[in-house]
Amino acid sequence: MSIANVFAEHTVVAARAAAELPDVLARVVAATDDCLRGGHKILACGNGGSAADAQHLVAELVGRFLLERRGLPGIALTADTATLTAIGNDYGYERVFARQIEALGRKGDLLFAISTSGNSPNVVQAAQTARGLGCRVVALTGEGGGDLAAHADILVRAPSAVTARIQEVHTLCIHAIADSLDALIREQAAT
């Protein structure tokens, strides 16, 4: 695929996402706001590029997005290599996120489970564990949704089957969520 084709394909997928995802992303923002206003936290997980997306999301919450505001509680379950390798060694890679949710998750928390295929066993197990504890689950997947779709309270399907395009849409979604959440926080502070 040529460089021009990569940009052309991205443009088509981004246009579809712009048409299809705003309503579901508004639900994600509302769920995130409810979680945080209830004194709960955000957890996030994924593998590879989706691990980077989980960390990116948490960085936007704990740090800030565009404007100064208080830090928001979030934990990327992908970032602690000692914990990941210990759990992977002792329990298997499929349990690396579920075990952390058992330790850190509480009823009312919100898990962002990110998997381009929707079929990553460790992300699916994380969603199952989270829901078992009374956490809500937002799943970011590709157009198929995979096994993860059945374990999501809110499903954000990037309209593509191409991993790179799915990841690009996930990044746009993270920015849209962070921007909308910041706007909501500013509104609430003004009232």
Q: For residue 2, is it left (φ>0), alpha (ψ between -120 and 50) or beta?
A: beta
Judge if pTM exceeds 0.85.
yes
Confidence of residue 188 (pLDDT cuts 50, 70, 90): confident
- The ranges assigned to domains in the chain are 3-190
pLDDT at 10: 96
Mean pLDDT of 146-158: 98
pLDDT at 98: 98
Top-tier CATH class for 3-190: alpha beta
**pLDDT for 36-87, tens place per residue?**
999 999 999 999 999 999 999 999 999 999 989 999 999 999 999 999 999 9
